Amino acid sequence: MATMKQVAEKARVSTTTVSHVINNTRVVSEDARERVLSVIQELRYIPSAVARSLKNDRTHTLGMMIPNNSNPYFAEVIQGIEDASFKLGYNIILCNSYDDPKKQAAYIRVLMEKRIDGLILVSSGSDEDLSQLLADEGIPKVLVDREVTGVAADFIEADHVQGGYEATRYLLSLGHRKIACVAGPDTLLPSGGRVTGYMQALKEAGIAFRPDYLIHADFTSQGGYNAFQQLLALSDRPTAIFASNDLMAIGGICAANAAGVSIPKDLSVIGYDDIALASFSNPPLTTIAQPKHAIGQLTAQTLVKRIAEPDAPLRREMLKSALIIRQSTAALVQA
Answer whether residue 52 shows pLDDT above 70.
no
Identity of the residue numbered 317? E
The tens digit of pLDDT for each residue in 155-178 reads 999 999 999 999 999 999 999 999
For the segment 74-101, the average pLDDT, to the nearest whole number, is 92
Answer whether residue 246 shows pLDDT above 90.
yes
The tens digit of pLDDT for each residue in 117-158 reads 999 999 876 566 777 777 766 789 999 998 887 888 999 999
Answer whether residue 32 shows pLDDT above 80.
yes
Determine the pLDDT at residue 19: 84
Beta strands 141-144 and 154-158 are: parallel
Beta strands 322-324 and 286-289 are: antiparallel
pLDDT cut 70: percent of the chain above it: 95
Determine the pLDDT at residue 208: 95
Nearest in space to 94 (alpha carbons), one of 84, 74, 102: 74
Determine the pLDDT at residue 83: 95
Determine the pLDDT at residue 90: 93
Determine the pLDDT at residue 50: 55
- For 272, residues 6+ apart whose C-beta sits below 8 A from its C-beta are 163, 164, 167, 194, 242, 243, 244, 245, 246, 249, 287, 288, 290
Identify which has the larger pLDDT, 114 or 237: 237
Residues 255 and 271: their CA atoms lie apart, in Å, by 15
Q: What is the mean pLDDT of the chain?
A: 91
Determine the pLDDT at residue 125: 65
For the segment 285-305, the average pLDDT, to the nearest whole number, is 97
Lowest mean pLDDT among 104-113, 227-236, 300-309: 104-113
For the segment 298-313, the average pLDDT, to the nearest whole number, is 95
Answer whether residue 53 shows pLDDT above 90.
no
- List the beta bridge partners of residue 64: 94, 120
Determine the pLDDT at residue 3: 86
Answer whether residue 329 shows pLDDT above 70.
yes
pTM: 0.82
Determine the pLDDT at residue 49: 58
- Please work out, in degrees rounded to the nearest 5, the angle formed at the alpha carbon of residue 273 by the alpha carbons of 103 and 244: 80
For the segment 251-262, the average pLDDT, to the nearest whole number, is 97
Determine the pLDDT at residue 99: 82
Identify which has the larger pLDDT, 53 or 265: 265
For the segment 312-331, the average pLDDT, to the nearest whole number, is 96
Nearest in space to 114 (alpha carbons), one of 62, 166, 38, 46: 62
Q: Which of 11-15, 116-120, 138-142, 239-243 has the highest mean pLDDT?
A: 239-243
- Classify residue 65 by burial, with Cβ atoms within 10 Å: 0-12, 13-18, 19+: buried
Determine the pLDDT at residue 260: 96
